[in-house]
Amino acid sequence: GRAAVVIVAAGSGTRLGHGIPKALVPLAGRPLLAHAIDGALGSGVADRMVVVVPPGDTELTALCRGYAADGVHLACVFGGETRNESVRAGLRAIGPGVDYVLVHDAARCLTPAAVFAGVLHALHAGASAVIPAVPVVDTVKSVAPSAAPGIAPESVTGTPERAALRAVQTPQGFRLGELLRAHEAAASWTGERAAAVTDDAMLMELAGSEVFVVPGSVEALKVTTPLDLLLAEALVANGYE
């Protein structure tokens, strides 16, 4: 079956704080989005791509046009206010004849080819949903407002077993028809229910689908804060791309 990659790049990058869309922020002199597109293309998993950019954007759109002019089968569409809406816009723009989709964050611009390949391999083996993930290094606690806010505003309600936890990355892979159905079902959600959707696999979990887990990579870090960008610069400078 044929596969497509959807790269979501429609976020504003508030936490990075550059005052421009995060996908446009330079890493080693080139926009994050260029690294992300090159990584997806270089992995060889898909021959067509949809890039989702901020509504009204012209600069990332121009970057995409450059790839299209070079013969890459790449479409560019406008995203929405939430990541979820942006993914939906990307899925709707995939043309006919595609069986699998890999949904990828532009912000995970240094994701190794082996991660893309691992996700696609699991799809070919029969999975409807696949996510790359890595072990969690920190102990994770759940918290709630404390009984004595004068001491501290929050206190601990529980400690999930760390060995059973994973930090989840992208690309997340799906049978296209099933992910589209799950996304269309969530399209009308509002408020807290909509805000609680933080990845695509979650929608498949809610639909009762088994979500398989394959190895991710520390290099697939999501560039979110200035510290992450510093780390990404160091990775590129040390030949990790």
Binding residues for ligand CTP (CB under 6 A): 8-15, 22-23, 52, 79-83, 86, 105-107, 222, 224
Looking only at residues 11 through 50 of this chain, which bind Mg ion when binding is defined by CB under 5 A?
11
- Residue 62, number of CB atoms within 10 A of its CB: 11
- 210 binds, options Mg ion, ligand CTP, none, Cβ within 5 to 8 A by partner type: none
Q: Which two tokens stand for residue 49?
A: 């791509």
- 216 binds, options Mg ion, ligand CTP, none, Cβ within 5 to 8 A by partner type: none
Q: Which residues pair with 75 in a beta bridge?
A: 50
The residue sitting closest to ligand CTP, measured at its beta carbon, is 11
The residue sitting closest to Mg ion, measured at its beta carbon, is 11
With beta carbons less than 8 A apart as the criterion, state whether 132 and 169 touch.
Answer: yes
- Let me know the angle formed at the C-alpha of 221 by 158 and 55, rounded to the nearest 5 degrees: 105
Q: How far is the CB of 150 from ligand CTP (least distance, A)?
A: 32
Measured in degrees and rounded to the nearest 5, phi and psi for residue 29 equal 85, -5
Stretch that binds Mg ion, among 9-17, 32-40, 86-94, 164-172 (CB under 5 A): 9-17
Q: At what angle do helices 83-92 and 176-186 cross, to 10 degrees?
A: 130
Q: How far is the CB of 107 from Mg ion (least distance, A)?
A: 9
Write out the residues near Mg ion by the rule CB under 5 A: 11
